[in-house]
Amino acid sequence: MQGFLEAPLLDAGTSFVGDYPRHPRKFESIANAARFEKPLRRRNLALFALSALQLALAYTSLELSFEEIPTNYTKDGIAVDPLECDPGVTFNQTYTRPLCFVNFGLTVLLWLVLYSYYDVKYKAYCSVSLVPRDPLAHVYRAQPGSQVAMRPPSLWRGPTLKVFLIEAILLAVQPVPWVSALWYEQLAFAINLRLPYLALRIVRDFSTIFQYREMLRREAGLPFLTWGTTVRLVYARHSLKFICVMFFYAYLTLTYWVHVIERDCNPEFSKIGNSAWFVLACSDPSH
C-alpha cells in the first residue's frame, strides 16, 4: 500500500477503462520501469532462445523427413513420373512425430515464460499509483487527507490481455504430426515470422537509448519511449547494419524455403547452391 501512495502520478489527461489507462502505449511506458528492466530482459532472451530452438528442430525434422524420390513410383497401380510433384511420396513421418512432441513441450514452456513476462509488466504497472476520474471505482482510502490509490488491477483486464493472447497464438504456431507434407512445411516456416519481433525486443532492451530513457523523458520531454520508438531511433543511427541483418535473414530463410518446396519435384534445382543463386537473382532490382 505504501508503494502505491509514494509512487508518482500520471498526467491528468489519462483516460481509464476499469483500472487501466486507455492508451496502451502509456501502459507500456509505465510497465518498462527501470527497476523491472533486468527481469523483462531475461524473459525476452528466453523467448528468443526457445523460439530459435523450435526453428532448429523444425528444420531438422524437414531434413529427416525427406526420402529419395523412387524410380519405380506407382499411384493407384499406375506407373507415374515421380517428378510430377507429389509431396507425399518423399515425406516420411517417422522422424517428424517425436520432434513435433518436443516442439509442443517447448511451446508450453514458451507460454509459461510469456505469462511470466506479462506478470512482471503487471507488477511494474501496479507499482505506480493511479487516481481514477471516478473515486468510487475500485479504490480504497488511506489515512484522512492522504492520496487515494487504486486497487491493483487484474492481469487479465486492460490492454495486456489482447496483446498476451495475440502473442500466445503466434507462439503456438508450429508443425504438427499427422498432417500433409505441404501443411507441415508451411507451419515449419511460419516459425520464422516470430523471430524478427522477438529479436527487435532484444535490440530494444540492449540499446543505449533505451538504457537512458528515463533521462530522455525528463530532459527532452518525450511522452512515450516504447519498443517501436526505440527501434526507429536505433534504425536511424545504424541503418546500414539494420538493413543488412534483415536482408540476410530474409535471404537465408527464402533460400531454405526454395530448397524444401522444390526438392520433391525438382531435385537438381533444389540444391542449396542453386536455391541460393535463384533467390539472389530474384532479389536483384535490375532484373
Task: Say yes or no to pLDDT of 147 above 90.
Answer: no
Ranking 34-43, 165-174, 221-230, 237-246 by mean pLDDT, the lowest is: 221-230
Give the tens place of pLDDT for each residue, 109-129.
Answer: 999 999 988 888 777 766 654
Task: Say yes or no to pLDDT of 146 above 50.
Answer: no
Of all residues in the chain, what percent carry a pLDDT higher than 70? 62
75 has which bridge partners? 78
Task: Say yes or no to pLDDT of 37 above 90.
Answer: no
Opening angle at CA 110, ends 113 and 112, nearest 5: 40
**Higher local confidence (pLDDT), 213 or 193:** 193
Domain boundaries, the chain: 2-177
Measured distance CA(65)–CA(218) in Å, rounded: 57
Summary mean pLDDT of the chain: 72
Helix (H) or strand (E) holding 8: none
Say if residues 93 and 65 touch (Cβ distance below 8 Å).
yes
Interhelix angle 227-237/239-262, rounded to 10 degrees, is 100
Can you tell me whether residue 148 is helix, strand or coil? coil
Task: Say yes or no to pLDDT of 210 above 70.
Answer: yes
Burial of residue 27 (CB within 10 Å: 0-12, 13-18, 19+) is buried
Q: What is the pLDDT averaged over residues 188-208?
A: 85
Task: Say yes or no to pLDDT of 87 above 50.
Answer: yes
End-to-end, the C-alpha distance of the chain in Å comes to 66
